[in-house]
Every structure is written in C-alpha cells, then in structure tokens.
Chains A and B, each alone.
Chain A
Amino acid sequence: MKYVDEFRSGQLAQKLAHELETLVEPGQPLRFMEVCGGHTHTIYKHGIEDLVPPEIDFLHGPGCPVCVIPMGRVDDAIALAERPEVIFTTFGDMLRVPGGRGSLLEAKARGADVRMVYSPLDALELARRNPDREVVFFAIGFETTAPATAITLLRARAEGVRNFSAFCNHVTIGPPLRTILESPGLQLDGFIAPGHVSTVIGTVPYEFMARDYGKPVVVTAFEPTDILHATVMLVRQLREGRCEVENQYTRVVCREGNPRALAVLDETMELRDTFEWRGLGWIERSALGLRPEFAAWDAEARFELPGSRVDDPKACQCGEVLVGAIKPWECKVFGTACTPERPIGTCMVSSEGACAAYYNYGRLAKRRERVPA
C-alpha cells in the first residue's frame, strides 16, 4: 500500500541495519529509550530487535497514553459512567484498563451506558442526538489528542451544546521526560522522541534534554524503517560527539509545531498544579485541565466526583517499566499474575503498553536472550 510499504521495505531495512553494524563499537552497549508507546508497538510488531546489533538495547518510555492513567482516575470515570443520566464515551483502549474496582468494560456489562468513540467529535454528535442525556467524554492522551478535545470544546461552546462535557486527563510529555532524566542511576545514551506529539508541540520542548542533560534526541516517526533510521542518527551523533535534537519525522514535524493546535489548547486548557501518573507518582505541572471559562463543559466541575485515590498494586512494577528501569519481563508478575487477560498494570492493557506489546509480539526474543546462541 502506498505510503506504508515504502516505510516497511525489507531492502531499506537491511541497508540501515548494515550501517548500524558499521557504526556500533562491538561490545559497547548503547541504551536508547523509545518514548512513545507507538514506537514500542512498531519495534515488536515488525521485529526490529532482530535487525539491530546486540549492542543496541531499546528501553520503553512513558509515552503510552493509556498506561499513565492512574487507577483512581479510572474509578472516577466509572463513577461518572454509572450515573443514570450519563452516556460515557471513551477511546477503545481505555475500556479494559483496570481501576480499583474493575474496568469500564465491566461497568458497561453491569449496566452503565459506556460507548466507544473514535473521536471526541463523535461524542459531541451523540450529545446533539441525545439532548435528554449527559454525554461525557473521557479525554486522555498527550498533546497528540488534546487539540481534538480542545476543538470539540470550542465547537460545543459555539453551538451551545450544554449536555456535553469532557473528563480531562490530558497530560504533557515534557515533565515525565525530565523526571526520567533526573532519576538516580540513569543509564541512557539517547532518546527516540515521540513523533505525533511533536506534530503539535514541535521539537523545541526537547532541547533541554540535549542542552541540560547531554542526551541526544531524535524525533521519530512510527514505521519500522523510521525507527532504524532514528537509531542510526542517534549512534552517529554519539560517534561524532554531537548532542542535539534532530528531526527524523520531517514529513510532518516542524521545529515550531502546529501553531493552530497550540492556540486552541491554550484557549481551552491550562496546566494543573500537579497530576498523578501511573507508576511515576505526582508530577508538578504535568497535565492539562479545562480553563474556568469552560467549567460548563468540564465534567470535574459539573459532576461530583469521588476523587478516588488508589495506590498501584504492590506487585505491579509499571512505574519501573515506564521509566525504562526494568524490561517488561523483569517485572515480578509479568506473564504470570499479569497477562492481557487479567492485567494488573496498565502497561499490559493497551497494545501500545510495553508489557502488552512484549507479551503479544515478543516472547520469542525473550527466549533467545535466555538461551544465548
């Protein structure tokens, strides 16, 4: 298929893999974090680890929008969904995420009106068609999906749709990256930085990583040759003694980002003082809430929420997986107590979650590591 096959070309992949081999110093390990869950998914889906030299290790980052939602927020979502007047709308990935008392899919089975949508605009349309119901949209994701929520809020206000609201859980990518860079004992040589977030925020927000922390960064697209290409770019920076933010995803990302998307974000949302992240704890100024002018469309302002706080299950090591401290299979419960059928942690739920991606696609690589060739 056009625009897909070109970026999955086995021939091109071989060329890039060969180049990597000539660039890497044998026996000297290089650890790169792919920040985005989409990258993790691609790495496992296409078997990229089979193509890179053994010196290169990919570590999974915090960029899976589903994985970073804390259990308490899921419980709040379920509380909203269980209100009789509410039609609760959500992206499909969130349906199976476990909170302290089950998932939205289970709430739906018990009678809550939970519906999967593909865009917040679909939720707004539901509100127009159901004027006697309250339609709540479970707004999650990084700056990638936040502009769609913003546009929907602006449209709801312009059209005077009063029975629509957003339960806002949008987060920003910069603060968790800083948290990772600040973590003691950090062993990272560079970052494969997210692509789609960067279409909105541009590449400037990553410059502190190179400047203040001395880590090379390459903003990267999501096809397998993109990831190989980015890996080559990172190794080249290291070999040439450079440390900068480079843009591999030039076909859609520019340095300044998307000013229109940033403008609608700024118009509708503001940084919260603090927000809880699954596994990472509370991070200051790391998430977006609706501005007071949009209180009429803010589910947190319009409905009484339990404000649930649920500690991550003790056995769950999602936090360590999300900062690249451990590999998914090094978690105590990976593949035993925690599986896609019965996830304990969020990383096992979404197809972008490192654990789910590893479990679904990668168990073979794990076997190989256990039995050295």
Chain B
Amino acid sequence: MKPRRTRFRDEVITLAHGAGGKATRSLVEGLFVPELGNPLLAPLSDSALLELNDSRLAFTTDSYVVKPIFFPGGDIGDLAVNGTVNDLAVAGARPLALSAGFVIEEGLPADDLRRIAASMARAAEHAGVPVVAGDTKVVERGKADGLYVTTAGIGTVAPGVELGPERVRPGDRVLVSGPIGDHGMAVMIARGELQLEVDLASDTACVLELAQALLTLGGAVRFMRDPTRGGVATVLNELAQACGCAIRLDENALPVRPEVVGTSEILGIDPLYVACEGRLLAVVAEDAAETALALLAAHALGAGAAIIGEVRSEPAGLVLLETSFGGSRVVDMLVGDPLPRIC
C-alpha cells in the first residue's frame, strides 16, 4: 500500500473502524502508522517479511471476535488457526509455528472451550503447524463475547518467491478459488436475528495447499490474498490502489452460491463485500491464467474456482464491474460494515 499522510480525526472508535473498509484504513494509517510505522510494517500487508541470515520469515497476527462462536461449518477455533495460516500462505510462506491467546468471559462452559481447543488442534494438524505458545486471560461476565482468540504465526518463504502489488501488470488475470461470501453470510444467518432458514456453511478452511500449488507457476504468480473481512471488493481496492492499476471484474464470472445471492438480495448487501475464510484470491500473468485455474480446480477446495477479472492500466486505482446487465460501475471500498437497506 502506498504511504499516504492521513490524519485520524474521529473522536471515538466506532464499529465501523473494525469493519475492514475505509474507516479501518484511516485508523491504521492515521493513528497506528504515525506512532508505530517502520519499514517492515510499511507495506501493511497481511504478513511482514523479515530477513534472517539467508532466509526469509513471514510473521502475522490476527484476532477473532466472531459471534456466535459456533456456526455452521466451523467455530472460532478453526477460524483462528485457518485465518492466520492463510495470512502466511498468501504471503508465499509455509507456516512453522503458531501462538494462541485466549480472552475468556467468565461463565463460558468448559465443554465449549474444550470443543474449540479440539477444533483448533484439528485445523493445526491439517495445516501441519504446531501451536507452540499461548496465553490465557479471564475477564468478568459482560466484558467479552464468550471468547476472543488471537493467533500469531511465523513461516518461511522459499527462495525465489516474490509476491506483491508492485509485481502486478496490466493484462494479468484475477482468480478466486471458490464461491464468495459464504462465511460472512453463514455467520450473519447463524446469529438468528434475520429469522432466515438458509442451508449455508462457512467456508473456513486452510488455503495453504492452494497457495503452494500456484507458487509452482513461479514468477507468473504476482499477488495472493485471502479475501476475509471486507470481502473480495476490499482486497481488490487495496490492490488497485497499491499497484496503480485498474481491476475489471466480470459479474457473470463471479462464483456466488444461490443461497448467498438470495440472502444478499433480501438484505440489500453486496456479496463482493462479504467475508470468505477459506478462499484464495490470486493475480497471475495472462498466459498462466488457465494453468492456474486448473491447479486450483484440481484441489477439493478449489471446486468453483474461476477467473473473475483482469488488470487494466486505466482508470488507475479503481475496481470496476462489468454487470451481467451490460453496464459497468465502480466497486468502491465501503466505509464500515455493509448495512442492510430499509426498503
């Protein structure tokens, strides 16, 4: 991301500052970076890359505050492991070790915590990474939503792996490894406030094998991200601004489950902004796009993978969508959470 001088002017922190959109960005760039900024933090990507002797380490951290803590397709435990492993994976790293910090609200049933620990263990084993350090805090009732989990991870980046927005070129293709918006929508429905009955599970999964498969393409892979909070639209906006190119998406090519389309229509929410937790977004060179698609589709997690758009030189910094209707529009970053419309 380009360094920009932004001043944080809001007087209080609101939920919008945690939604991953423009408000989050202004908080990070306007409040944290001026205090904590340094060359390693400067790219503001999911993982920092550290040089150690002759090898490169990727280092990342993430906090998980999902409500409810159990949801169709997963729970806060596997989410916390997969999320951090994925942040390493999309930096081109193989994870070495994770840490886990737990902020537990008093009153949480021990069985719930046991289930969550077991689900973390399964996810960690699946990713082939041990949890090697941890911390536990218990807070008073009402001070945390049952449980918050923070994980951090380190991994090694193989020599020759070079990824980043600066490597993206006009003509490159944008791929996604499967249907978008499943996690965010499944969690929203699981909260029960909408009184919708939809057969939909979170996509929480480890994308390490998908990322490693793409890395066999060498320099043809330019950039990878996992489109979590803020969804595909937010990641691509950050990319467009960082690489100074435009990204043109084809609405007809976007993989979205009918259940997600339907719920989105009811709520007036755009699936492009809804979180995925087991998807990989990649930018690859034009002539490698079909091979990349085949590599993704060959994997069980890549069923539904698609080439969803391409990089163009103009209009710089914007994401555009060619609608299936035949028009086009800008896909901007949201300020905060997508809010359901009134009517």
A residues near B (Cβ < 8 Å) are 1, 4, 8-10, 13-14, 17, 38, 41, 44-51, 65-66, 91-93, 95-96, 105-106, 108-110, 116-118, 122, 140-141, 144-145, 196, 224-225, 340-342, 350-352, 359-364, 367
Contacts and interface: CB of A to CB of B under 8 A. Distances in A.
The SS class assigned to the B binding surface is: loop
Nearest to B252: A10
B13 A362 contact: no
Contacts of B194: 118
Contact of B16 (A41, A96, A145): A96
A359 B330 CA distance: 9
A122 B193 contact: yes
Nearest to B265: A4
A105 B14 contact: yes
Interface in B84-131: none
A360 B335 CA distance: 10
B340 interface: yes
18 contacts: A10-B325, A51-B325, A66-B342, A91-B342, A92-B340, A92-B341, A105-B15, A105-B336, A108-B14, A118-B193, A141-B343, A144-B343, A224-B325, A341-B22, A352-B341, A352-B342, A364-B320, A364-B330
A118 B340 contact: yes
B290 interface: no
B166 to A, nearest CB: 25
A107 B325 CA distance: 41
Contacts of A51: 325-327
A330 to B, nearest CB: 19
Of B9, B11, B16, B23, the most chain A CB neighbours within 10 A belong to B16
B14 A106 contact: yes
Contacts of B342: 65-66, 91-93, 140-141, 145, 350, 352
Contacts of A224: 323, 325, 327
A255 to B, nearest CB: 21
Contacts of B341: 38, 41, 92-93, 350-352
Contacts of B326: 10, 13-14, 17, 47, 50-51
B261 interface: yes
A352 B342 CA distance: 9
B218 interface: no
B329 A1 contact: no
A305 to B, nearest CB: 22
Interface string B305-333: 00000000001001010011111111010
Contacts of B324: 8, 10
B134 interface: no
A351 B267 CA distance: 12
B258 interface: yes
A4 B261 contact: yes
B193 A47 contact: no
A224 B326 CA distance: 10
B320 A360 contact: no
Interface string B21-36: 0110010000000000
Given A96-B336, A360-B332, 7 more contacts: A4-B261, A47-B329, A92-B339, A110-B12, A340-B22, A350-B341, A362-B330
Nearest to B332: A360
A121 B262 CA distance: 22
A8 B321 CA distance: 15
B26 A13 contact: no
B268 interface: yes
A96 B340 CA distance: 12
Contacts of B23: 341
Contact of A364 (B13, B16, B265, B329): B329
B329 A109 contact: no
B339 A96 contact: yes
A13 B326 CA distance: 8
B262 A1 contact: yes
Interface in B191-238: 193-194
Given A13-B325, A122-B193, A95 B330 contact: no
B265 A351 contact: no
Nearest to B328: A47
Given A1-B258, A351-B341, A47 B323 contact: yes
A209 B44 CA distance: 56
Nearest to A363: B330
Instruction: Please list the 9 inter-chain residue pairs (A to B) with the smallest Cβ-Cβ separation, ordered nearest first.
Output: A47-B327, A92-B339, A361-B329, A50-B327, A10-B326, A109-B14, A109-B12, A46-B325, A92-B340
